[in-house]
Amino acid sequence: MPVALQFDLIKAIVAHGLQCDPADTVDPSTSANLRKAGVALVTTYIEQLSLVGIVSDPAPIFGAEGGMWIGYRLTQRGRDIAATEPDLRHAVSELIGGPKTEVSEAVANLLAECRESPINEIYREDFLKTLDEIRICFDSECYIAAIALRAGSV
């Protein structure tokens, strides 16, 4: 089951890791953003990011700014995908349970809006299911299938 994570904190963890030498353990206590989020929350996020291969070697450390923290290293994959937000978003999409692309996010927003809108009951369920299938197709990079679904619903 997807874990509801805040993408901004994920970006902060990865950005802080990029500032450190790849061979060094990253100390979260040296980041004001991570200190503000707190040890428990940052630890949870580091654990989740290790599950998708973005960070490695999580280990307890004494933070330079005080407290017991979980240090980590960015993997090469973590460093590679940190270059662009869409790549990072795609990599952690399984964890945050969200869309993988801007298009699928727009379709998901449209779907949520349509669920609240008065739609003719005769085709309401089919319409909503088709929108959800289009979102799934975009997340799976099956663009031709998304076009076929759109064409079939006209």
Structure tokens that stand for 23 in this block: 């061979």
What does the pLDDT average to over 44-51? 91
Let me know if 113 is exposed, middle or buried by CB neighbors in 10 A (0-12, 13-18, 19+): exposed
> Would you list the domain boundaries of the chain?
7-96, 102-152
Q: Does domain 7-96 have CATH number 1.10.530?
A: no
Whether this prediction's pTM lies above 0.95 is answered by no
In 3D space, the residue among 80, 7, 72, 60 whose CA is nearest the CA of residue 37 turns out to be 7
Helix axes 7-18, 39-51, angle to 10 degrees: 80
Range of lowest pLDDT (24-28, 74-78, 138-142)? 138-142
59-89 per-position pLDDT tens digit: 999 999 988 999 999 999 999 988 777 778 7
